[in-house]
Amino acid sequence: MKNDVASQLPPAHPTVTPPKVGVLLANLGTPDGYDYWSMRRYLGEFLSDRRVIDYSPLLWQPLLQLVILSKRPFSSGAAYKTIWNHEANESPLMTITKQQTAKIKSAMQARYGDDVMVDYCMRYGNPSTKSKVQALVDAGCRKILFFPLYPQYAGATSATANDAFFSALMQQKWQPDSRTVSPYFDRPSYIDALAQSIERSYAGMDQKPDILVCSYHGVPERYLTEGDPYHCHCQKTTRLLKERLGLPDTEIVTTFQSKFGPEEWLKPYTVEEVARLAEAGKKRIAICAPAFSADCIETLEEINEEIRESFEHAGGEHFTYIPCLNDDDAHIAALSEVIEENLQGWLD
């Protein structure tokens, strides 16, 4: 008579695989294409998120579905077309997220071997958070570390990414253990990676810029008064960067970009501030975007095209856009350090 464990299982018993730990990196999301319907699907999902737009759906949905989504997919699609990675047929955000994942996977494999799986997901569009949580569970992950790739916390980014993760866990019969990663804007390794990228960029110039503009994605001002710490996290990022670079107050400024809708957003607005700087005689500026872990439409198109134009139109002469940290080795090392710290006790 057989007495091994397998023979005692009911016939429909699922296969039990050796437990693994999953690390799921999460970014905002991006359209599958720049055509009208891909853009409409993506923007529709994004702008229906009440963490992003908190108006009553009774008022907001008719305006969104009938007015905004009949126009914006065309203008946003045209902007995406100018930055699209045509070879891979995907947006830069997608390409860079894949590169970051591959490098972090190698770092984790070198540290932990095959016990850790690393993958990425998006909050909006594909690959969805739900599909990637399912894939990790199917591959045997009994513990999942969820890492929203935003250095500064915002309800509209980190919290909604976590919401999607928790919602995916709600659908699991055997829910894996889970942890989420806190914002990392004040970690010395992240600040150092930013500082190194700025120093590298400055070292290649024959004359140092008059000022470094740190341009963060904005949020409505009201979100700050209602308790969202994003503004404070951004201000502290600039202060730490200033201290690390040894810059005087006059050579660095915090600004906010990408205003959407009629409300007041965090100020100063980057597009106006760069024009003011040019008019005030700061003809040579460098601009970086510390809130973005990867270059995307908001940096490659908005900063490097619209905001550059505003500066030059106001008499500015030298505009240098310093790319996001992307898959820079110092960035990957900083993110890996955050992951290792958050995995403590799970793999020892």
Q: Which residues are annotated as a binding site?
A: 217, 298
Q: Which residues, including other chains, have CB under 8 Å from residue 346's CB and lie 6 or more apart?
A: 21, 143, 145, 177
Residue 39: helix, strand or coil by DSSP? helix
Taking each helix axis as running N to C, give the angle between helix 329-342 and helix 188-203, from 0 to 180 degrees, rounded to the nearest 10.
180
Per CB under 6 A, does 256 bind ligand L6N33NVT? no
Per CB under 6 A, does 157 bind ligand L6N33NVT? yes
CA distance 151 to 4: 50
Residues 164-203 that bind ligand L6N33NVT (CB under 6 A): none
Q: CB of residue 288 vs ligand L6N33NVT: minimum separation in angstroms?
A: 13
Contact 209, 320 (CB under 8 A): yes
Q: Residue 229 or residue 323: which is nearer to Fe ion going by CB? A: 229
What token pair was written down for 216?
A: 């963060």
Residue 232 interacting partner from Fe ion, ligand L6N33NVT, none (CB closer than 5 to 8 Å by kind): Fe ion
Binding region for ligand L6N33NVT (CB under 6 A) out of 112-120, 152-160, 197-205, 307-315: 152-160
Q: DSSP of 97-142, one letter per residue? A: HHHHHHHHHHHHHHHHGGGEEEEEEEEESSSBHHHHHHHHHHTTEE
Q: Which of 69, 297, 335, 338 binds ligand L6N33NVT (CB under 6 A)?
A: 297
> What phi, psi does 302 have (nearest 5°)?
-70, -50
226 to 265: interface string for Fe ion, x by CB under 5 A = -----xx---------------------------------
Per CB under 6 A, does 60 bind ligand L6N33NVT? no
Taking each helix axis as running N to C, give the angle between helix 129-138 and helix 160-170, from 0 to 180 degrees, rounded to the nearest 10.
50
Q: Residue 33 or residue 140: which is nearer to ligand L6N33NVT going by CB? A: 33
Per CB under 6 A, does 219 bind ligand L6N33NVT? yes
Per CB under 6 A, does 93 bind ligand L6N33NVT? yes
Beta-ladder partners of 320: 286
Element of type H or E holding 273: helix 270-279
Q: Residue 72 or residue 179: which is nearer to ligand L6N33NVT going by CB? A: 72
Residues that bind Fe ion (CB under 5 A): 231-232
Residues that bind ligand L6N33NVT (CB under 6 A): 28, 30, 43, 52-53, 72, 76, 91, 93, 150, 154, 156-157, 217, 219-220, 230, 258, 260, 291-292, 296-298
